[in-house]
Amino acid sequence: MIATRAALVAAVMLIAVTGATAALGRSPTRPAHACAPPHSHLVVADRVGRIFSRRVIDTTSGNPYKAYYSCAYRVRRAVAFISSQFPDQDRHALIRLSGAFVAYEFKAACAGCEELQPEVVVTNLLSGATRHLVTFEQEPAVGAILALVVTPRGSAAFVDQRFSDFGPGVSYEVRTTSGAVLDSGPRVRPRSLRLRGSTLSWRDGLRTRRARLR
């Protein structure tokens, strides 16, 4: 069963930054300095904000790693993606930005773990709050998130990959961050997941299936 937490207690770090004032509709090609600090690298941007990365040194291990941040032009504040106590070994992928919400896959490093368990995170750029955090602690068969989409309202859907406990077979599930399972089976095509407006579509074998993402 998917475990969904509405907020994070200690995983999100807010970074106060200074720079020129930027309105909500400011072009992503001319971001406020707060959203484009020196030595940062753009990942994705839209009219509301941008996602960027920076090279950071882990204070515990001394190892360098790539840290990711979201930043809304209107707020002028960078919010770090969630991380574990081993940030230089964490993994962030499938970063998707839509309006004031960013969604991504997070794999937290942990001592003694053979495999990193995936999580799906949806964060509000304006408030810095995490709207959805979907974990698979009770579902060790889930190996990875292969596709992810998010709406401007913060609703998200994804396709996860599952390994059978009874053989080498692989199957896939189409899910939402609200907990709904929309489809499952070995014929689901993960990279066919599309979002147009609020209509979600994907391929299951030769069929195209659709659902409303609220």
CA distance 151 to 149: 7
Per-residue pLDDT tens digits for 78-92: 999 999 989 999 999
Determine contact, residues 56/73, Cβ cutoff 8 Å. Answer: no
Q: Which residues contact 156 (CB under 8 A, 6 or more apart)?
A: 96, 101, 103, 120, 122, 132, 148, 149, 150, 176, 177, 213
Domain ranges of the chain: 3-212
Percent share of the chain, pLDDT over 90 = 64
Show the tokens assigned to 65: 């790693």
8 Å CB contact between 26 and 89: no
As a whole number of angstroms, the distance between CA 3 and CA 80 comes to: 22
| Cβ neighbours of residue 35 closer than 8 Å, sequence gap 6 or more | 17, 19, 22, 49, 50, 52, 71, 72, 73, 76, 78
Q: What is the pLDDT of residues 41-55, one digit of tens each?
A: 999 999 999 999 999
